[in-house]
Amino acid sequence: MSDTRFTILGVALIFAGFLILGVFGTDFRMNNVEMVEFGDCHDYSQDNPVPIDCSYRMLDQSMFFAAVIGLIAGGAISLIKGARGKWDNQVRPEDMVGPSKDNNSEKEDQG
């Protein structure tokens, strides 16, 4: 994979990580506030709040943040790999594609 694609992939992964954190992170923040301030947790998905164990909420919150950190870390690693790698303009002459003086002179000799 070329270095430019690593850079684009890194930016996309970091953007996706922050976007997911921004959209879905507020639910987990409210769970944390509920646990710290009141000491008990409730499930509000039904009509009446149902008391639940706070450790399950903390496990869900930890897994969510681990996934987001994984996306952002993967993007950072991809950005570093793209920045440190040999860029696309450092191609061996025999691997180059497109018009060049060497290729044009060979075609003129044959024609």
| pLDDT, tens digit, 9 for 90 and up, residues 53-108 | 888 888 888 999 999 999 999 999 999 888 877 665 666 777 777 776 555 555 55
Amino acid 71: pLDDT: 95
Q: pLDDT confidence of 110, banded at 50, 70, 90? A: low
Cα atoms in the 13 Å half-sphere on the side-chain side of 29: 6
Higher-pLDDT residue of 92, 4: 4
- Mention every residue, 6+ apart, whose C-beta is less than 8 A from residue 13: 71, 72, 74, 75, 78
Against a cut of 0.75, is the pTM above it? Answer: no
Number of domains in the chain: 1
What is the per-residue pLDDT for 76? 94
Range of the domain at 46: 3-110
